[in-house]
Every structure is written in C-alpha cells, then in structure tokens.
Amino acid sequence: MRKPFKASVKKFLSFTLISFSAISFANLEMSFEGKTAKLNLIISNTDAARRKGLMNQSFLEKNTGMLFIWPSSKKQCMWMKNTSLPLSVAYLSSDGRILEIYDMVPFSEDSICSMKNVRMAVEVNQGWFAKNKISLGDKINL
C-alpha cells in the first residue's frame, strides 16, 4: 500500500473515531481483523460516562463490551470501584491495535494503568479475549 494512501486511511479512521466521540452510550459492532469474533459495544466517550463505566451493572451480555474513547493518546488507568463483574480490559492504540490486556478484580479500587500511550480501551467479560483468540497486536474494525 502506498504511504500517502495509508496516511489518508489513518486520518479517516481517526476522524471516524472522533466523530463517534460526539455520541455517548451509542451501540456499535466491532470485529477484529482476520478473526470471526464480534463485539457489540456501548460507547463511553465523555468524562462522566468514562467515570461511570460498568459500575453497578449486575450482568454483561455475551459478546458485549464497553468501548472507552479518550480525546488524545496518553497513559490511561481503569479501576473496578462499584463493579461486581469480573472484567478484562484491552488498551488500544489510536489505530485500533491491542497494546495491552489485563484481567481486573471486582470491586478493586486499585488502578490498572496502561504502560503505553493509548487512545481507547475495551472492557469485556473476563476471559472473552482468550476464549475468542484475541491477543496483543490484533486490530479492531469498527
């Protein structure tokens, strides 16, 4: 692929993600490049929505998760305050590549921080990534 075309595609994807940032708690289907797994996502892209996350939820549907989108790439942290569900979190680069995956402990107020600068995170039921063979380096398709 030619470099100018790749740059245009990256700009388009970034614009698309920023456009989604205007919508809070919208639903979106996400797939992974070269994989059959799909996720239905709840978008969490405002400060208030990101702070609330999946707090006080007693159930998360199979193949459902929450996509957190931040205005810019930087190191981010998540926690499980008031969250009874065992979850896994994947931190993503601005181009949608999975950089890190962590399992989180219900009700823990310990921060689980990214080691790298990230633009997004996806929370799913714990074990979903492993069960669906989704791992570091895999890329999302929105």
Q: Give me the pLDDT at residue 25, please.
A: 45
Q: Which domains does the chain have, with CATH numbers?
A: 3-141 (2.60.120.1140)
How far CA 50 is from CA of 54, 55, 60, 83, 134, in Å, comes to 9, 10, 17, 13, 23
Work out the mean pLDDT of the chain and round it to a whole number.
85
Lowest mean pLDDT, pick from 49-53, 95-99, 120-124: 49-53
Q: 79-112, pLDDT tens digit by residue? A: 999 999 999 999 999 999 999 999 999 999 999 9
Global model pTM greater than 0.85:
no
Across 117-127, average pLDDT: 96
Q: Give me the pLDDT at residue 56, please.
A: 81
Helices (H), the chain: 3-20, 47-52, 128-131
Nearest C-alpha neighbor of 25 from the set 66, 77, 73: 66
